Chains A and B, each alone.
Chain A
């Protein structure tokens, strides 16, 4: 009966099965037109909206200005106040200025020295928003240098003329793109994997595969690898649209970015399996996924820096996996295209999430 292709060794058979499953899952993804549409719709829509509306110059520095009134105070208020990117908020005391920096209502606090003291302008910034602070500080440094020239009436030994070139203008789109990539990595994993696995359990798909000699682990690894690859391809397409079509001024260090995103997706996949272990029905899994993803979606620094949250909230939000992923992705794409200590810290955070959620998932997982 039939024409068997001859007994294959079990290893090549598992590989064949793995490849056939991967192909089947890819077909399933591609044929789900609505699914494909929605996985691109919001990221691209957001980029388009902020790419056109946000425009340039969205970068802005709020300065809390403290210190005794006097010529220096007035000069800073007037001269810097005319620069569009600066807004000066005079405050009554040094403490009040520092408080604003800590709470994120000001990016930097500038303390004007009393007339008797040495003419040193103290500038305080929030060290927890390192990247934003660096941008603010360099703008302030530059402005103060020009102010110096104006006050001394002497041209500096080396003058600077700035001209914008197609370089890294920090605007909101550039801020947003790394966040959108991180957000997509999360959403694709949570919605794609957790709901798929629970639906398979509920509708007896998993069960049907258990009645075959396929090791269950092969089925799940095909699913995981497939989701990872589809996720990366989706991210690449969104990144392409963001940079090539909408001209987001971001760095694209391919290898470090790949490592970071793969680690992020893996962490969210483990989280998905953890959720799929708790949820018994498709109706149950969607609210659970929302419960997990909504706080991260809003708070993890996708739309605004975590440092602008109240300190207590920020301390918690900083431990969210999406915060780690967003922070690392944004740092790689906006300041340093290699693994700095700060980025390595984020990656360690993601790795810890991956390990912990995997361990929980192994315990909560049920095959049916």
Chain B
């Protein structure tokens, strides 16, 4: 990989906090105009990776190029040209939306005027409302609007939909898709697989600081789970361990739901129906679907994306530089 391989190029990036290796030899190249997703559970190293590119954290090793500029040597140049939305950031509570956009705009050599940003992020009604009086969704839209204030070619969004209701998330997805239509490159972290699947042209799955898979959502599913998934309510009195079905790759029980991954859906289904007849067990809530990124993650790590993996690890947004 060379700096010319993409608008963002990262090579061998490493970051340690004491004994914890938060980012462990991460490399990727993002072609211009794509939405690039970093998918992974909390503590996977997504935020640390992003913040090193943004010049907010100093890597222990590795190289970073943004638009051909060496980000480790010229962090100020990078900060002037990229757009950034951070997790858990706040602004001056007593300034209005319009004043906040104007203030941040004035910090950049080139900036979009407030009157262009306000309607685009559906903040027109709230333009003269103080930041402290905004709802969570409005505040998030302001955060994303601020990422666009310097008219950047590359926009970094860190968990942009965290804490939003489904409708607000949909609006946000449309906004992010519109960035791509304008030719901007978007780098996005998320732990929602549907978000990564919907938005990403290309994505990496991270776990424990490492990239464990890289490809388009479709490629990843095809590569790791070519079959399909059968889901059904747990039949009363039955144990998932007793299932012996044709072409069954993996069977999981969670919250009274059985999830059966199959290499050949037809064969597994026939067996399942026969099994239910033999035992006179009704198959309730039965449905089949193609595999998703969630299943890929499960396949790769043995854990669910949103499952609390029980490790005492600080959430990334609150890590402090020692």
Contact = CB atoms under 8 A, between A and B. Distances in A.
A203 B91 CA distance: 9
Interface string B71-109: 000001001100010101111111100010011101111
A252 interface: no
Contacts of B84: 211-212
Given A24-B92, A368-B320, A1 B107 contact: no
Contact of B92 (A10, A205, A215, A368): A205
Interface residues of A, number: 33
A5 B105 CA distance: 11
Given A203-B90, A208-B86, A368 B109 contact: no
Contact of A212 (B107, B110, B320): B107
Contacts of B106: 16-17, 20
A279 to B, nearest CB: 13
Interface stretch (B59-67, B111-119, B258-266): B111-119
Nearest to A31: B94
Contacts of A209: 107
Interface residues of B, number: 35
B239 interface: no
A21 B103 contact: yes
B321 interface: yes
A204 B86 contact: yes
Contacts of B91: 205, 208
A24 B89 contact: no
A27 interface: yes
Contacts of A8: 109
Contacts of A215: 76
Nearest to B183: A1
B51 to A, nearest CB: 9
A207 interface: yes
Contacts of A210: 55-56
A7 interface: yes
A4 interface: yes
Interface centre among A10, A16, A25, A207 (most CB of B within 10 A): A207
Contacts of B255: none
Nearest to B104: A212
Given A4-B111, A203-B90, A213-B80, 18 more contacts: A1-B151, A2-B111, A24-B99, A27-B94, A28-B92, A32-B94, A204-B88, A207-B86, A208-B89, A208-B146, A210-B55, A211-B79, A211-B84, A212-B104, A212-B108, A213-B108, A214-B107, A215-B76
